[in-house]
Structure formats: C-alpha cells, structure tokens
Structure 1
Amino acid sequence: MQKKTVKKTTEKKAAVKTTEKYDHLYDFVQKISGDNGLKVFQIIGDGVTDDVIEKKANIKVAEVRSILNHLHSFGVVDYSREKNLTTGWYTYTWKINEERAVQNYIQSLKKEKKMLAERASGLDNTVTFYSKKTGRSFSFEEAFENQFKCPETGNTLKEIDKNQERKSISKRIQEIDKTLAEHMPRVIVE
C-alpha cells in the first residue's frame, strides 16, 4: 500500500514540474484560447490523449478536441497518432511544442507592439471617443454621425484623454519589452 502512495506522490510532483516548465506560455495560451484552453494546456505537459484531458479537466471531449485543434493552429501543441489494429481507430497523443509556441508568442507580441506604437503616433492627429459600457472606440466622424451617442447602448460617448492613453500604451509597450527580453533567449536560432 505504501508503494501506491509513493507512486502517486511522484506522479503529482512530475505533473507540477511539467506545468511549471511551461508557465512562461500561460499568458499567450490564455489570450488565444481562454480559461478552458489554459486548463487543457496545463494538463497536456509532455504527452497525453484527449480522453485523459477530458477526465482531468472535466470538459466534454468535443470541446477538448476543439481547443486542441485551436492550440495546434497557433503552434502551441503537436500530436502523434497511433492506429489500434484491432478497432481501426486512431489515438492522438498531444504534446506541447515549446519552441514553436515561444516563437509564435514573440511574433504576436511584436505585432501588438507595432500596432500600439502606430496608435500612439496617431493620437496627435485624431480625436477619438469611447463608450464606457462597451469599451468600443469611435473616430470623431463616427461619433458625430451618432450624435456622440453609443449606437449599442445610447449612452453619451466620452473623449479619450490623450495623455492617459499615451501612458497606457507606453506601459503596455514596456510590459511587452520585458516579456520579449525574458523569452528571446528561449528562441533557438537556426
């Protein structure tokens, strides 16, 4: 009976090490696939089937497969398949593709940084309004056409404070730079 306890403790430690091994990708996975995607990602580790993920995550297998395919499209996970010769069915084993995931994460951060820099440089040339309730932004022309009311809620639109927006953009760019500095050493130069 003691042997089972030791085995379970060892398995738990291995699972924790595996999840910690990839914790630098949590923000990226959360951003692209939400809470359930992150839950699935944390279970995958170094290799697991969709049925095991379903049981551990308590998510329907159809949703698990959808999440896995979504993560695969972003290069976060890869799979291998094995055919059961008796049944003819395939079993897919999913693994995290850390190198490709980090490269795609870095690429998405660089794209976001470029977009933010363009937005910051355009602040001086435009007047922008936003809806507090929806968070949606409107150009001056759009706001004027809607009589400075949100078309969805009917609430009055507020002008964006350019200084506050610049600070917000600058802060996010600094966060991106910090994250890039942390992840750049992980990228393997070919």
Structure 2
Amino acid sequence: MLEPDSFVVKEYFRKRIGDEGLKIMMTVPEGEITDEEIAKLSDTKLTAVRKTLYRLYENRIAEYRTERDDNSGWITYLWRFNYTNVKKIMEDEADGKLAELNGQLEEEQEGVFYQCECQRVLFEEAAADSFLCAECGTNFEYVANDDLISSLEGQIAKLEKWKEKIKNE
C-alpha cells in the first residue's frame, strides 16, 4: 500500500484535485468523519470539501455511509478514506495512458502523413483524393513526424519511470 503522505501520492492527487483538495485529503484522520468536521479541520469551505470528497469517491478513494438522526430526520454522511486502492488506481491510470501513447507511437512510426490547412491524413487517404482536400480545397503536403515520434517516446519513458516509482513506494 502506498502511504498517503508519500511524495508520489501527493503529486498524483495534487494534479487531480488541486492544492486545496490535497490539503483537505491530508487533514482527514483515520476513521469516519463528517464533511462538516473536515471543513473545520482543514479550514476550508464546506462546498469545496464536498466537491473534493465526491471526486475522491468517484475514484474509489473516499467512501461514505449514512446515518439518520432519529429526532430530526437529517441524514449525516460519514466519510473515510480507503488508501488501499491508491496504488492500483495510479497503476491502472498509468497503464491506460501507456497503452494510448504506445498505440499512437505505433501509428506515427508506421504511417506516412500528409497535411492541408484543415487536417492531417495518411498517404493512402491523400492519394485517394488526388492529394487535394475535399473540405478546404488545398493541396495535401508531406509532413515529417520525427518530432512527434520523439515527443511520444519521451512521454512514454517519463510515464514508465513514474510507474516504476509507484511500484517502489
């Protein structure tokens, strides 16, 4: 299990829920707590706390149960964090992004691309249209994609390094 105060976890959640959301997340003690108590502890507006909790709930990090007050009939939400899901969620997201980037890299490496003023197409499509764009009427010109391939390779390497960090935490 990744620790909630680990640098990798903090950076991941800072990107997903922002600094205020991270502050809220780091304020919550072990066990169950109401959103009102979280707002007091983190010195944050209740609406911001609820927004953060719902986003964390969508990602299976925050969980809640409800209690009904017998006297008033009010429903109270008791929240708690499930940090056991953090590592799996981070790895799954990295795997999905890696698959997407690797697919895009493969397309770029295997394809020959042409571009007009409005779109970028494969050679076969440009040739089928006699190298004239049906949408804007301009000619398709060959476009090199070496820079894009290098950029994709860099993004993949960076993501694989990040994924390795997750495994080692």
* 2:103 equivalent to 1:118: yes
Deviations 1:88-145 (A, max 9, x none): 334333232111122111101000001011111112315487xxxxxxxx7415xx64
CA distance in 2, matches of 1:175, 1:162: 20
Partner of 2:126: none
Letter in 1 for 2:26: Q
* 2:39 equivalent to 1:54: yes
Contact 2:4-2:83 at 8 Å conserved across structures: no
Partner of 1:34: 18
CA RMSD of aligned residues (A): 3.3
Q: 1:106 to 1:85 in 2, by over 3 A?
A: same
Count of paired positions:
148
Q: Greater helix percent: which structure?
A: 1
* 2:9 equivalent to 1:25: yes
Partner of 1:43: 27
Tell me which of the two structures has the higher relative contact order, counting C-alpha pairs closer than 8 angstroms and 6 or more residues apart: 2
Contact 1:127-1:139 at 8 Å conserved across structures: no
Q: Quick one: which of 111, 131, 147 aligns to 1:164?
A: 147
Q: Percent identity?
A: 20
Gaps of 5+ in 1: 1-17, 130-137, 149-158
Q: 1:175 to 1:93 in 2, by over 3 A?
A: farther
For residue 78 of structure 1, give the secondary structure of its aligned residue in structure 2. Answer: strand
Deviations 1:5-61 (A, max 9, x none): xxxxxxxxxxxxx862x5432233234333433232222242443113323445432
Partner of 1:69: 54
Letter in 1 for 2:156: I
CA distance in 1, matches of 2:112, 2:71: 67
Q: 1:162 to 1:30 in 2, by over 3 A?
A: farther
User: Could you state the TM-score of these two structures normalised by the residue count of structure 1?
Assistant: 0.60
CA distance in 2, matches of 1:54, 1:161: 53
Contact 1:49-1:94 at 8 Å conserved across structures: yes
In our comparison, the structure showing a higher alpha carbon Rg is 2
CA distance in 2, matches of 1:105, 1:72: 15
Gaps of 5+ in 2: 122-132
For residue 73 of structure 2, give the secondary structure of its aligned residue in structure 1. Answer: coil
User: Could you state the TM-score of these two structures normalised by the residue count of structure 2?
Assistant: 0.66
* 2:123 equivalent to 1:140: no
Q: 1:98 to 1:160 in 2, by over 3 A?
A: farther
Q: 1:45 to 1:105 in 2, by over 3 A?
A: farther
